[in-house]
Structure 1
Amino acid sequence: MKAIIVDDESHARSLLSNTIKEHCKGIEIIAEAENVKEAVKLINKHQIDLVFLDIEMPNENGFALFEYFETPSFETIFCTAYSEYALNAFEVSAIDYLLKPVSISKIQAAVEKAIKTRGQNQILKHINVLRENLTVNQLQKIALPLSDGLLFIKVEEILYFEADGSYTHVITNKEKYMVCKKIKEFHELLSSDSRFFRVHRSYLVNIQQIKKYSKKEGATLQFENSKIIPIAREKKNDFDEYIGKISV
């Protein structure tokens, strides 16, 4: 894959370029750019397959690159020093990023994914979801990996996540999806979202979707779909304290 690095700091470009050349086979760094306009010229000239894109740049940030392409044919890996919330937004939007200072293992993993998804031309859809998630204080959409691609659903519509070995059932108001991802991964992705609480090793629930909280004969939660979920004994005190903070 022909690649370029876009970063306003020459040292950062050089460090990333050397790391990619040494540790990422199949990636050829064609050129470097210090701003978006230079990057656009290089992409058009060399028919670039992969762009390593810094976000925090003067004049135009990295997202501006996509305003120059109606249907981008290149994959993108972002380089960022964003906050924890923003990184969660990247994760749930299914967009790869490298957190500065970058690690070799993360670069290799991001590159491998870019190679696998090459030619799918899905970047604009992912960018739009990411922008939605970055412009508010709560995540708006989450990407679910399905057998034929990714499905973006509104976070507010999720009732709960249910563990099933290496899979997770994602239950919404309308549908039920089974994804090849452990519930632990969803818990980590949504750890900064106050709407979600891990009430049981098998359940991560959206507290805004709870219909009834019963404390009789073991604590349970009931949802609009009539599903009753147990609260683990060791989680009950923490859950009561959490609910107490948000109850009117």
Structure 2
Amino acid sequence: MTKVIIIDDEAHCTNVLANLIGKVHSDYTITGIFTNPIKGLQFIQNNPPDLLFLDIEMPNLNGFALIDKLLPIDFDIIFTTAYDQYAIRAFNYSAINYLLKPISERSIVTALANWEKRRKKTSTEQWQLFQNNLENSTNERTKIALPTGVGFNIVEIKNIVRCMSDNNYTNFFLKDESKILICRTLKEIEDILKDHNFIRVHQSHLINPLFVKGILKQDGGSLIMSDSTEIPVSRQKRKQINDILETMLRLK
């Protein structure tokens, strides 16, 4: 029997979640539904679930603080939140799933299918790493979690060669020549990676200067990356970028 608990201060959200979970997985048993996070905490201490659906922004006790009070934990968590800001912050590294409200049947199907495949217990170390990435400065992070349709791809930041915009999506090109497409704008990615010395050289391109093989000055200027791709440099940033890259290349 798979035991599920739902904690959300909005009753209509708990009702929607309970109905969707029952529809998708009739074999799951919802052992507790709470709009009061403190009561939910007390219940979990004596009746731990297999899976917890947990809102983040709640009065008296937010979702993060609630988990801190339960450590160490031996169950998995899917955060539910109406605030994309948490998704962006958690985006840097996490083995913990989250769903953005309003939650659809499709998103529940995907999240639960992924969880069933993994059934990976959320360890204390994983939670602490998640918390550290929210609290530490960006340049201390070494990994980034790229959200896909079925979960996350965990990537070493040092292995990212370049990123390319595709409207509201971003393509990541990695050192091993693999490519990952995620539903995030290049501006969001730039905000995360700029402290790792990534440079926005063009409206559509963000590059890791460590993978620059050369600089072409004809036709307005461009960069040759380690994957042999030629990346244009915008006119506004040309001098600044050339100065930075020429200094780096001389030192390499």
Query: What TM-score range do you get, normalising by the shorter chain?
Result: 0.5 to 0.7
TM-score, normalised via structure 1 length:
0.67
Match of 1:193 in 2: 189
Which amino acid counterpart does residue 23 of structure 2 have in structure 1?
A: E
Match of 1:121 in 2: 121
Range with bigger deviation, 3-12 or 109-118: 109-118
How many residues matched? Answer: 222
Which amino acid counterpart does residue 184 of structure 1 have in structure 2?
A: L
Is contact 1:161-1:170 (8 Å) kept? yes
Match of 1:34 in 2: 35
Q: Which has the higher helix share?
A: 2
Displacement of 1:104 = 0.9
Superposed CA offset, 1:72-100 (max 9, x none): 111100010113x4323334424321111
**5+ residue gaps in structure 1?**
172-176
Is contact 2:220-2:235 (8 Å) kept? no
Q: What is the CA–CA distance in structure 2 between the aligned matches of 1:100 and 1:162, rounded to whole Å?
A: 28
Alignment pair present for 1:78 and 2:79: yes
Counterpart of 2:207 (choices 198, 205, 208) is 205
Note closer, same or farther for the CA distance 1:207–1:26 as it changes in structure 2 (3 Å cut). Answer: farther
Match of 1:89 in 2: 89
Note closer, same or farther for the CA distance 1:208–1:89 as it changes in structure 2 (3 Å cut). Answer: farther
Note closer, same or farther for the CA distance 1:13–1:36 as it changes in structure 2 (3 Å cut). Answer: same
Is contact 2:73-2:124 (8 Å) kept? yes
Is contact 1:220-1:228 (8 Å) kept? no
Give the alignment's Cα RMSD to 1 decimal: 4.1
Match of 1:230 in 2: 229
Note closer, same or farther for the CA distance 1:159–1:62 as it changes in structure 2 (3 Å cut). Answer: same
**5+ residue gaps in structure 2?**
165-171, 245-252
Q: What is the CA–CA distance in structure 2 between the aligned matches of 1:126 and 1:189, rounded to whole Å?
A: 27
The alignment-based identity, stated in percent, is 29
Task: Please state whether the residue corresponding to 2:189 is helix, strand or coil.
Answer: coil
* Mapping of residues 37-76 of structure 1, within 5 Å: 37-76=38-77
Displacement of 1:198 = 8.9
TM-score, normalised via structure 2 length:
0.67
Match of 1:183 in 2: 180
Is contact 1:80-1:98 (8 Å) kept? yes
Superposed CA offset, 1:180-215 (max 9, x none): xx4222x7376513235597x9x8623587686432
Is contact 1:162-1:169 (8 Å) kept? yes
Note closer, same or farther for the CA distance 1:31–1:159 as it changes in structure 2 (3 Å cut). Answer: closer
